[in-house]
Amino acid sequence: MDSNVRPDRSEEWSESISKQSKEIVMKTTHSFSIDFIIRRCKDKKTQALIYARITVDEERKEISLKERITATDWDPNQEIVKGRTEKVKALNKHIDDVRDKIRNKYRVLQQAEALITAESVKQEYLGIHSQLKGHKLIELMNYYKKIMEPELKPGGFKNVKTTVNYVELFLKANFPSGDIFLSQLTNEFATNLKHYIRTTPIDSHKPCEGNGLAKHIQRFKRILTWAKDDIKWINTNPCEGFKSGLKKVRRKKLSFAQVVAIENQHFADATISYVKELFLFSVYSGFAFVDVMALREDHFEWEDDGTVWCKLYRTKSEELAAVRILAAAARTLDKYRRRKTYVPGDPIFPSITNQTINDKLKIIQAVCGIQITLTFHLARHTFAKTIALKCGIPIETVQLLMGHAKITTTMIYAEVDEEKMLDDTADWEEKLAKKRDVVLAEQSIQKEIIRPMVRLAPSNSNAVNILTRSTPTS
């Protein structure tokens, strides 16, 4: 490369990450040392045993050479035995041989990309070390995909595959072997992974940032927690304390006035009109798109008084939801199950893609002058907040209506927004005014009671002061 040409920042970052990643894998020699020391014998203080001390990342382990010498013959600076006899020369050579052997064992662990600690180097020297046989990250990712594919819905599993793909690409780009032991994972690894996803999106035309990026880190941490809790591959989640950066997003919904505006808008186009009816059906029932498209007559029960019940296992949560259908939604159901082309046993609503619906909803949004981006899922949010919670339906009931497995999911819709704050505080000033009137009336009554008592009290100034001191002032 021309010395006058500076590499772009992405190349500099890549080289930096590669260097950091190799440090994670190899536990480099920056903190590795071998020292020789003596420890005096308990049975004879004038004699001492020689020990090799191994230090890795400030962790120390010692190995006894099983050699006894006179304590004063030890040179702590040169770490040898003083003297010129053949016995002393042989002993010092043994010390050098031990030093070389320990260093060689350290290099063996480096080349094998094994987890290096003072204990692992000691075990390798003693011949009892077995190369780290723990599970690796790629193995975990593949196993997680295998187990979760039949358990997750296609949309959810697609997200998992994308996260796993990012992890695999990161390992391939920055680790010599394209893999890492689970026991070597750290918050530094998670930090570098997050930066890699942000700066190297799989789709170059669609940057991965914000909550999209945070979701990938959240899934990565969830997989590690699964490895700890479910399959016991690790004792702790090494990245448990790492912050994903997920930010709370306020769920958008339509006001009731906007719902009515859509209801009253006529569309000549048959497809747009059909999309409008499906959207409003979800607004008044809370059903997700996949559930709406799967509805059949046998999912419903019509009572004599006109009440309609729907008993359906929700696709996302697999919760059995017995839902009372509001009249507005029931009329749409009745219309489509009575159409001439309807075949009993088939889905009630004619097939249509979610993409087509969302495209047509953009037209409805523009015609009705609605500023919020209309999507089919927005109807579900509107049902939870505008149709149910704001009409006083208890949150436990809304949980069942929405088919949520956990009430914490439903509580997301119960957060206070500006509209709810205005509703809740509409008569605030009036309530304060009424309380003020009550207090003033009580004070006026107290004055009327105390005034005669003051007139009848003796001329003793102290008594008058006591009575008047307790008199409320206006």
Tell me the mean pLDDT in the region 84-96: 94
Residue 366 has pLDDT above 60, yes or no: yes
Q: Report which of residues 250 and 207 the model is more confident about.
A: 207
Angle between helix axes 154-174 and 137-148 (nearest 10 degrees) is: 170
Residue 243 token pair: 């912050």
Lowest model confidence (mean pLDDT) among 5-19, 144-158, 377-391, 417-431: 5-19
Proportion of the chain above pLDDT 70, given as a percent: 81
Distance, C-alpha 364 to centroid of its chain: 35
- Taking alpha carbons only, the member of 195, 194, 196 closest to residue 173 is 196
pLDDT for position 249: 63
What is the spatial distance between Cα 72 and Cα 82, in angstroms, rounded to a whole number?
9
Residue 7 has pLDDT above 80, yes or no: no
Residue 266 has pLDDT above 80, yes or no: yes
Residue 290 contacts residue 315 (beta carbons within 8 Å) = yes
Report the length, in residues, of the chain: 474
Q: Report which of residues 469 and 185 the model is more confident about.
A: 185
**Strand ranges inside 186-306, DSSP E:** 300-302
Band (5; pLDDT cuts 50, 70, 90)? very low
Task: Give me the residues paired with residue 33 across strands.
Answer: 55
DSSP conformation class of 80: E
Q: What is the pTM of this model?
A: 0.50
Collapse the DSSP code of 313 into the 3-class scheme (helix H, G, I; strand E, B; otherwise coil) and give the result.
Answer: strand
Tell me the mean pLDDT in the region 263-281: 95
What is the spatial distance between Cα 409 and Cα 391, in angstroms, rounded to a whole number?
19
Residue 39 token pair: 């420890």
29-72: per-residue pLDDT in tens? 458 999 999 999 998 999 999 999 999 888 899 999 999 999 99
pLDDT for position 344: 86
The torsion angles phi and psi of 137, rounded to 5 degrees, stand at: -65, -45
Collapse the DSSP code of 53 into the 3-class scheme (helix H, G, I; strand E, B; otherwise coil) and give the result.
Answer: strand
Proportion of the chain above pLDDT 90, given as a percent: 39
Residue 130 has pLDDT above 60, yes or no: no
Tell me the mean pLDDT in the region 349-378: 93
Residue 120 contacts residue 114 (beta carbons within 8 Å) = yes
What is the spatial distance between Cα 287 and Cα 383, in angstroms, rounded to a whole number?
9
